[in-house]
């Protein structure tokens, strides 16, 4: 998946001279002894909050921009043995953290929040956000936080500077992904899969070190662990978050069980294996983590890869922009095209870059960029629409009505939901026909189309809400022992996904760390599971209430009404409660209902295909 980028809000500087925002003094000077004492004037806490937030926000935005620029350089130019960017990034993040986590700012924030009854909701939200940020970099443990910044920078360099090898040659993750989608020889598939996991041991010591540092930083402000800290951003306790993601997984379990059974038998047939395994070998699936199986199905009448290959990589990004413009959104600012890194590096570049697609809000205003490696194929076609969803979300809430501290999604999942929603919309047949990417007369099997979608969206839920969320919960909150990291991972993979490794994977490996988010976007992968639920709720509403179309066959293109609906969700940023936003716009609370309903027609087909087959989940 593609996670929106936010710069590190990590450590505090060791120096005590870092700038802080001040709550203005409120106590009058002592009166002369000969004059009768006068009671101090009542404090105007609303005015105090405004003055503090004005000062704080200006400095926050300045340091955030510096941090973003440094992070961008570290992610787009990785040179083996050259620590220049790493040192600069650590310095910028330390400066940012010294401000957000300063003892003075924490004390001022707490003092103002003690007088909530005299503040406006808008002010309270900003103050709470600033205090939440402070917990990620409290100056009271400056040495710990400084070490964390250095460790995170080093981990990023190891993660994206790794030299993957297959058959003795250096390969990219794009190369490995392509092989897993297309290779039919089980032995070669296993070799590809194992090559994709080779990075794990390199990251183990760094990840264990980061666990301790991340937990210690947030514990300084009263959070028991880093997972709890991240869940609190939703207004939920750790237990409430785990209950929510388990509920989502349970709601989709019956459909996943059918897909799992179907996949075991179909892949055994494809790979000419007579004995159908009870659990899916990980190397059989067309994705390194078994989170997306959609490449198993080629829908007849649709050869989008061939069509896109003729269009070229640049066309895909430009077309994604045209889609948003058709809904009424503005053209992307020139700086997006000038400073983004959108395409794979030349073979002779002499350096590497982060290979994970991401969207960047550089200054919390109008400077936006994207980091991708776009190639002309279906996966990147969807990804370009997804990433531009993040970009337009940034641009929408970067408006004068939304203060700097609230320029974020209604919650973290909303950002992913917007991106994924547009990715789904851009792949439905009426949309593709309208763009000339698919022949209107071509007969397409609607059941196979729905199956392909389910092998993308539904198979992702057990991975995101199950494996990833449960493993990181164990890792951070339950203090998972260092000699059980890989065992716990594969225990969860088998339980939730029904997948097993092709060979024994002992503790000399660290397969969870091969997922980038475990390293550089930790303890919040449930964002993606929640985003899919929100995505289908929004899509259900758009299809039925706005477009009056079948949710399985929509065309958003050119609908200003759809654009207005989306803009009204995007524009307030985090200034409104995410539950309130969802209820107001869709009429219902967070629920997997729409997602389950969308795929219900597929259940009849799958049960017919699986008749007489052995279920193992």
415 is in an annotated binding site: no
Q: Compute the half-sphere exposure of residue 457: CA atoms within 13 Å on the CB side of its CA.
A: 27
Please identify which of the residues 387, 453, 470, 472 carries the catalytic annotation: 387
The answer to whether 146 and 261 have CB atoms below 8 angstroms apart is: no
Please confirm, yes or no, whether 385 is among the known catalytic residues. Answer: no
The answer to whether 325 and 395 have CB atoms below 8 angstroms apart is: no
Q: What is the dihedral of CA 562, 563, 566, 570, to 10 degrees?
A: -170
The answer to whether 539 and 594 have CB atoms below 8 angstroms apart is: yes
SS3 for 510? coil
User: Rounded to whole angstroms, how far apart are CA atoms 305 and 295?
Assistant: 12
Tokens of 357: 């697609």
User: Rounded to whole angstroms, how far apart are CA atoms 277 and 225?
Assistant: 39
Residue 178, number of CB atoms within 10 A of its CB: 18
The answer to whether 95 and 15 have CB atoms below 8 angstroms apart is: no
Q: Max CA-CA distance within the chain? A: 103
SS3 for 165? strand
Contacts of 229 (CB under 8 A, 6+ apart): 135, 136, 218, 223, 523
294, with CB counted inside 10 A (0-12, 13-18, 19+), is buried
Residue 78: what are its φ and ψ, rounded to 5°? -105, 110
319, with CB counted inside 10 A (0-12, 13-18, 19+), is middle
Please confirm, yes or no, whether 51 is among the known catalytic residues. Answer: no
The answer to whether 327 and 559 have CB atoms below 8 angstroms apart is: yes
First to last CA, the chain: 25
234 is in an annotated binding site: yes
User: Rounded to whole angstroms, how far apart are CA atoms 345 and 341?
Assistant: 9
390 is in an annotated binding site: yes
Closest among 573, 578, 576, 234 to 407, alpha carbons compared: 573
* Residue 98 to residues 59, 121, 154, 378, Cα–Cα distance (Å): 11, 27, 20, 44
Tokens of 80: 């083996």
User: Rounded to whole angstroms, how far apart are CA atoms 601 and 447?
Assistant: 8
Could you identify the residue written with the tokens 């594969």? 490
DSSP string over 317-374: HHHHHHHHHHTTPPPPPHHHHHH-B-SPPPTT-SSB---S-EEEESSSSS-EEEE---
386 is in an annotated binding site: yes
Tokens of 576: 């409104």
Please identify which of the residues 5, 356, 415, 517 carries the catalytic annotation: 517
The CA-based angle 292-322-338, given to 5 degrees, is 90
Residue numbering of the annotated binding site: 234, 386, 390, 416
Residue numbering of the annotated binding site for Zn(2+): 386, 390, 416
Catalytic machinery residues: 387, 517
Residue numbering of the annotated binding site for chloride: 234
């Amino acid at each position: 998946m593609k996670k929106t980028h936010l710069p590190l809000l990590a450590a505090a500087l060791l120096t005590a001279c870092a700038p802080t925002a001040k709550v203005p003094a409120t106590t009058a000077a002592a009166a002369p002894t000969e004059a009768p004492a006068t009671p101090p004037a009542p404090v105007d806490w609303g005015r105090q909050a405004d003055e503090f937030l004005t000062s704080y926000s200006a400095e926050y935005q300045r340091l955030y921009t510096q941090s973003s620029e440094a992070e961008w350089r570290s992610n787009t130019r990785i040179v083996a043995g050259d620590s220049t960017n790493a040192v600069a990034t650590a310095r910028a993040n330390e400066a940012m953290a010294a401000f957000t986590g300063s003892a003075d700012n924490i004390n001022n924030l707490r003092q103002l929040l003690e007088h909530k009854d005299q503040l406006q909701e808008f002010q309270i939200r900003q103050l709470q956000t600033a205090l939440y940020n402070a917990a990620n970099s409290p100056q009271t443990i400056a040495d710990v936080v400084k070490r964390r910044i250095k460790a995170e920078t080093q981990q990023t360099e190891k993660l994206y500077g790794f030299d993957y090898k297959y058959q003795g040659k250096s390969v990219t993750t794009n190369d490995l992904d392509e092989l897993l989608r297309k290779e039919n020889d089980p032995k070669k598939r296993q070799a590809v899969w194992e090559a994709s996991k080779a990075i794990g041991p390199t990251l183990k010591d760094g990840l264990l070190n980061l666990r301790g540092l991340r937990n210690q930083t947030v514990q300084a402000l009263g959070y028991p662990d880093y997972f709890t800290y991240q869940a609190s951003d939703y207004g939920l306790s750790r237990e409430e978050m785990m209950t929510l993601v388990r509920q989502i997984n349970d709601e989709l379990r019956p459909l996943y069980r059918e897909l799992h059974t179907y996949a075991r038998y179909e892949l055994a047939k494809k790979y000419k294996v007579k004995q159908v395994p009870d659990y899916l070998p990980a190397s059989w699936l067309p994705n390194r983590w078994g989170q997306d199986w959609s490449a198993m199905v080629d829908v007849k009448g649709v050869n989008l890869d061939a069509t896109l290959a003729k269009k070229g990589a640049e066309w895909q990004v430009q077309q994604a922009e045209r889609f948003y413009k058709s809904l009424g959104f503005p053209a992307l600012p020139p700086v997006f095209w000038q400073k983004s890194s959108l395409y794979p590096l030349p073979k002779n570049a002499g350096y590497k870059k982060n290979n994970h697609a991401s969207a960047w809000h550089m200054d919390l205003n109008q400077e936006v960029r994207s980091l991708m490696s776009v190639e002309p194929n279906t996966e990147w076609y969807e990804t370009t629409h997804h990433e531009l969803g993040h970009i337009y979300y940034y641009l929408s809430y970067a408006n004068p009505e939304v203060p700097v501290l609230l320029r974020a999604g209604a919650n973290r999942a909303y950002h992913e939901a917007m991106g994924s929603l547009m990715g789904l919309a851009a792949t439905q047949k009426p949309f593709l026909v309208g763009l000339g990417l698919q022949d209107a007369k071509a007969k397409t099997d609607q059941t196979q189309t729905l199956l392909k979608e389910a092998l993308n969206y539904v198979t992702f839920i057990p991975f995101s809400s199950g494996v990833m969320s449960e493993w990181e919960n164990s890792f951070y909150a339950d203090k998972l022992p260092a000699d059980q990291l890989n065992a716990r991972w594969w225990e969860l993979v088998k339980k939730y996904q029904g997948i097993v490794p092709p060979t024994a994977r002992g503790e000399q490996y660290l397969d969870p760390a091969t997922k980038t988010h475990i390293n550089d976007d930790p303890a919040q992968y449930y964002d993606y599971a929640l985003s899919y639920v929100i995505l289908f709720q929004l899509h259900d509403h758009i299809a039925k209430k706005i477009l009056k179309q079948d949710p399985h066959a929509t065309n958003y293109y050119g609908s200003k009404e759809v654009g207005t609906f989306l803009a009204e969700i995007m524009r307030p940023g985090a200034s409104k409660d995410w539950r309130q936003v969802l209820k107001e716009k869709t009429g219902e609370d967070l629920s997997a209902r729409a997602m389950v309903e969308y795929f219900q027609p597929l259940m009849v087909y799958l049960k017919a295909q699986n008749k007489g087959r052995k279920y193992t989940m």
